[in-house]
Structure 1
Amino acid sequence: MRTLTYAMNLSVDGYITAPGGDLDWSAPSDELFRFWSDRVAATGLSLYGRRLWEEMSSHWPTADQQPGATPAEIQFAHRWRDMPKVVFSSTISAVQGARLVTRDAVAEIARLKAEDGGPMDVAGAGLAATAMRAGLIDEYVTVTHPVLVGGGTPFFATLDDRVDLDLVETRTFPGGVVLHRYGNRP
């Protein structure tokens, strides 16, 4: 059985984007960028919601071919292209470099979790909220940047029931960025 992790950068006040979709506040240090690149390399399958898919797929498929691309960006682009991806959307009809799922996300995520294979990541707040409410997420990774953005897209969904978690890992990065990794309490 696969594990499902939800991992994102967020502000101290709990947002993954600021109002208007601003992400400038979450620009990673070289060390943090390597962390995210290594996560992509270790991911067996990434599950994307439409909005984050559109953002990522508009840049990373050709990022390694852009003038001035750094070795780290080139490596990330290769890893991202090679990582198996599933996109969940009922509003788009086709995707390139991934499989599109237009039906019940909860049933498909549960089916994918039941398969053998490497760990899965869920990418995108809307899809993560759906998986969170269904109790499908095994691990949460918050990479908190020292900024208050005052609103935007929250990392956590509103839940009907409490979810008890165990702290599994803490790590610091340059610039006061702190990673916390939590697993569901058995």
Structure 2
Amino acid sequence: MRTLTFAMNVSLDGYIATPGDDLGWGVPSDELFQWWSDRVAATDVALYGRRLWESMSSHWPTADQQPGATPAQIQFARRWRDLPKVVFSSTTGVAVDWNARLVTADAVTEIARLKAEAGGTIDVGGATLAAAAVRAGLVDEYVLVTHPVLVGGGTPFFPVLGTWVHLDLVETRAFPGGVLMTRYETGR
């Protein structure tokens, strides 16, 4: 059975985006950017909600061809293109490419099916999609990359839950700029 991980940048007050989807507060240091790139390289498949997919697919497919692209950005773009991706959307007309496929059926059912397959890690991203996986009890690991900023509102990392989820801290790492990565496993 595969491991499903929910990993995102998060503000200290618990948000992954401000109202209006501003992510400017989460600009990574070179070290953190490399860490995210290495995560992409170690992931077997990435699951995206429509909005996160649109954000990522509007930049990374050609980021390595942009003037001034750094070696790290070139590496990330190549890794991202090669990574198998599943995009979940109920909106028709969502374009997918770059080693991705579109799923319009029930997300929880498809995520459970993917988890049951043989293979390695699955990353889930996008607030709505991740919330569905969290509520269904499908997430095995939570990785919070906490930035020292209070944004005051927006899209929360964690959805409202009907029950407690006990977690075990398994890893921490400090990055430049006061950023702290914490990784938790569910207490199953």
Deviation string 1:40-77 (CA, Å, 9 cap, x unpaired) is 00000000000000000000000000011000000000
SS in 2 for 1:136: coil
Q: Secondary structure at the match of 1:179?
A: strand
Q: How does 1:82-121 map to 2 (within 5 A)?
A: 82-93=82-93, 94-97=95-98, 98-121=100-123
**Corresponding position of 1:31:** 31
Secondary structure at the aligned position of 1:19 is classed as coil
The 5 Å alignment of 1:20-169 reads 20-93=20-93, 94-97=95-98, 98-169=100-171
Deviation of the 1:29 alpha carbon? 0.2
TM-superposed deviation, 1:92: 3.0
TM-score (norm 1): 0.98
Matched with 2:7 is 7
Aligned length: 186
* Partner secondary structure for residue 21 of structure 1: coil
Moved over 6 A (4+): none
Aligned with 2:20: secondary structure?
helix
Alignment RMSD (CA, Å): 0.7
CA distance in 1, matches of 2:49, 2:113: 17
Q: Counterpart amino acid of 1:150?
A: G
CA shift digits 1:114-144 (9 cap, x unpaired): 0011200001111000000000000000000
Q: Give the fraction of aligned pairs with identical amino acids, expressed as a percent.
A: 75
Provide the C-alpha distance between the structure 2 equivalents of 1:136 and 1:39, rounded to a whole number of angstroms. Answer: 20
Partners of 1:86 and 1:168 lie apart in 2 by: 27
Q: Which amino acid aligns with 2:145?
A: V
Looking at structure 1, the residues matched to 146 and 28 of structure 2 have their Cα atoms a distance apart, in angstroms, of 11
Which 5+ residue runs of structure 2 have no aligned equivalent? none
> What's the counterpart of residue 19 of structure 2?
19
